[in-house]
Amino acid sequence: MPTQTLTFDLLLLPTWLVPVEPASVVLKDHGVGIRDGRIVFIGPRHVALKHTALETRELPDMLLSPGLINAHGHAAMTLFRGMADDLPLMTWLEKHIWPAEAKWVDEAFVRDGTDLAIAEQLKGGITCFSDMYFFPKVASERAHNSGIRAQIAIPILDFPIPGASSADESLRQAVELFGDLKYHPRIKIAFGPHAPYTVGDENLEKVRVIADELDASIQMHVHETAFEVQQAVEQKGERPVARLARLGLLGPRFQAVHMTQISDDDLSTLVESNSSVIHCPESNLKLASGFCPVERLWQAGVNVAVGTDGAASNNDLDLLGETRTAALLAKAVSGSATALDAHRALRMATLNGARALGLESEVGSIEVGKAADIVAFDLSGLAQQPVYDPVSQLIYATGRECVKHLWVAGKQLLDNGQLTRMDEQHLCATAKAWGERINSHTH
């Protein structure tokens, strides 16, 4: 019996296809068929070509993978990139970042900074990012306009912040925005209580109750430094993770960012609650905050994703570079060269990120039925030769300049390295103008 002919909006024909699920698989000379923004076909090239496609893209010497997922960041902070470098976390925050935010952050700052961040991320192969920053409604509008996928975590602190005079006001905004965007195909609203030392029990209880009611995710900086944990033990008599567990915040929708300090008790609490950890190695290295024991978490069964953090503490939003750092650091920290191999590193930057953000049924792997969030990396360059294992080359020998094409929900947002919906020159000019304004007031 002849097989039914399918019609694709788009057929992609790369040299290598890395679906991520099933794990550690590389398919050579396969095609991916996309219709209505979803993956409808994966199969050998000769079979793919028997179907009808409105558009066919030959991608020689390219590796097709799920789009990268940047599971933690503060997008608009791109406008503070490089402003207060080479300082420890609390000095950096209290003496530099918080005063700068109080002075400069408004809706225009968030609009322009978020646009800059989205453009940088798209050019780096990122199809989905998580953002935790002020004026979240503005950030969600920028994400909507750009075509990227996003989790917008509404920041909640015990003191007034730009755009919200109290934690209650932040919570009200969060509930309203959650309602407005409930059916948005690409944007998800989450709660972002800043950190254990900036949010007291009363407000954390409120977050828990509302998040449970809405079935919403919670993202929070937790155990970022040894000092944070030590101070909590001295002042409250318990470690922050134990406190969050006692308050009922941990669970499959909880995203613990950083986690550089992990005791045996912390580990069993994370495992039992099925919480995700989001690893930001470069920010932790730069602020000398410590090392997240990724391999130990992974072997214990904790879902570990990767994030860049904000550009003020990284200083780039380069998730491919971040993943390479994560893989190398995991080996050094665990004392084992087999820790976090290239395939698992890619999984951490894709499917694990999707799982952390509660999006694993939608994105994170190239599987039939999922949204077509896909990136093509060009491995034809001289620094990538010869190719024995394309995933090893991607993680250890390839930079984000090799990102050629990118699709979110089947829409092409990057074509041959060029943004299709955003004006790069305009973005650069706007960012420079902000830099000049801020600089003239600080010196």
DSSP string, 35-86: ETTEEEEEEEHHHHTTSEES-EEEEEEEEEEEPEEE-S--GGGGGGTTSS-S
The pLDDT of residue 90:
86
∠ CA 192-286-133, nearest 5°, is 20
Domain coordinates in residue numbering, the chain? 7-66+371-419, 68-356
What CATH class does 7-66+371-419 carry? mainly beta
- In the DSSP assignment, the letter for residue 164 is B
Residue carrying structure tokens 């950096």: 92
Answer whether 178's CB lies under 8 Å from 216's CB: yes
Least Cα distance to 408 among 439, 362, 361 occurs for 362
Answer whether 85's CB lies under 8 Å from 282's CB: no
- Please state which CATH number belongs to domain 68-356: 3.20.20.140
Consecutive 10-residue runs of the chain (443 residues): their mean pLDDT?
84 98 98 98 98 98 98 97 90 92 97 98 98 98 98 97 97 98 98 97 98 98 96 96 98 98 98 98 91 97 97 94 96 95 98 98 98 98 97 98 98 98 98 96 71
